[in-house]
Amino acid sequence: MDFRKNHYHKPSDDLTRPIHWPSAGAFAVITAELIRSVADDPVAPGLETRRFLRLPLPPRKKSR
């Protein structure tokens, strides 16, 4: 917890920090499983046409 509180996304969060190998391994396994499940699915992934977060769109520029 010290890392997230004191170093995550701060100047001290750099490559000199030690790596927590169990977490890195778990992340690699989850990522590989996700990629494999998408690759093995008989239906190709498609583009979601609805806006995911439902954020307001910026105003359109008036065309001349």
Question: For the segment 14-34, what is each residue's pLDDT rounded down to a tens digit?
Answer: 899 899 899 999 999 999 999
**Neighbour count for residue 11 (Cβ, 10 Å):** 6
Helices (H), 1-64: 2-6, 21-40
Contact predicate 20/6, CB 8 Å: no
Distance CA 20, CA 2 (A): 12
pTM, rounded to two decimals: 0.55
What is the pLDDT at residue 22? Answer: 95
**pLDDT one-digit tens code per residue, 44-55:** 887 666 666 677
